[in-house]
A and B are shown apart, each in its own frame.
Chain A
Amino acid sequence: DIVMTQGALPNPVPSGESASITCQSSKSLLHSNGKTYLNWYLQRPGQSPQLLIYWMSTRASGVSDRFSGSGSGTDFTLKISSVEAEDVGVYYCQQFLEYRTFGGGTKLELK
């Protein structure tokens, strides 16, 4: 099974600063079709999760361009530029290559 490991944030993050969340997979998520099957989600307090980024770097519909995804086959980063109050919550990475597996989550708190 593919294991997803997420890094922690040096919370709290000052408003207006950028924040980067890391995620590592135990196996390359690069498919033979050229797509990397890594997604990012945000779960705000008391809400259901929402899809932010799919295929490692493509923003989902309606997602702010302050969110950007990057990485290689096994190491990934979600960058949030100019953090705002609405960005507070827990961020999850997820692999979509073999079944589906989530990372343990990374909490973002605002200063």
Chain B
Amino acid sequence: EVQLVESGGGLVQPGRSMKLSCAASGFTFSNYGMAWVRQAPTKGLEWVATISYDGSSTYYRDSVKGRFTISRDNAKSTLYLQMNSLRSEDTATYYCTRDNYRGFDYWGQGVMVTVSS
């Protein structure tokens, strides 16, 4: 059974950093691209970043470029999202998802990030 389990969320002050992790199991992690998707409270889904299966390519939405870094450790089957210079508008539930060429076919349960002083 495919499982994606996010961790690392919480309350953080504006301008500070936070790192999210996503532990994957139930599939060969190193064969798949992965992505982060976020959802602000009462809002819709917003793609944040994607990383290729081997980590050689990364893609970001404009509003997080230069502040967020997506990475992966295939030996640990773990996906990461390093978030720097956090803003109030980054407050959201962050989902880890498998970025299959057919779509985002598996999702984690999400982890909440609140940026507030």
Contact = CB atoms under 8 A, between A and B. Distances in A.
Interface of A: 1, 39, 41, 43, 48-51, 54-55, 58, 60, 90, 92, 94, 96, 99-105
A43 B59 contact: no
Among all A-B residue pairs, the 5 with the closest Cβ atoms: A48-B107, A39-B103, A100-B47, A54-B102, A54-B103
B107 A102 contact: no
Residues of B contacting A: mostly: strand
A99 B47 contact: yes
Given A99-B50, A99-B61, A104 B105 contact: no
B61 A102 contact: no
Interface string B41-63: 00011110010000000010110
Contacts of A99: 47, 50, 59, 61
Contacts of A55: 102
A58 B59 CA distance: 26
Chain B interface bracket (under 10, 10 to 19, 20 to 34, 35 or more): 20 to 34
Contact of B107 (A39, A49, A58, A90): A49
Contacts of A102: 44-47
Contact of A105 (B45, B50, B103, B107): B45
Given A43-B45, A100-B35, A48 B103 contact: no
Contacts, number: 57
Given A55-B102, A94-B103, A48 B44 contact: no
Given A99-B59, A100-B35, A102-B44, A49 B104 contact: yes
Interface in B20-76: 35, 37, 44-47, 50, 59, 61-62
B102 A50 contact: no
B42 to A, nearest CB: 11
Nearest to A94: B103
A102 to B, nearest CB: 4
A51 to B, nearest CB: 5
B41 to A, nearest CB: 13
12 contacts: A39-B104, A41-B103, A48-B107, A49-B95, A50-B107, A51-B102, A54-B102, A60-B105, A99-B59, A99-B61, A101-B47, A102-B47
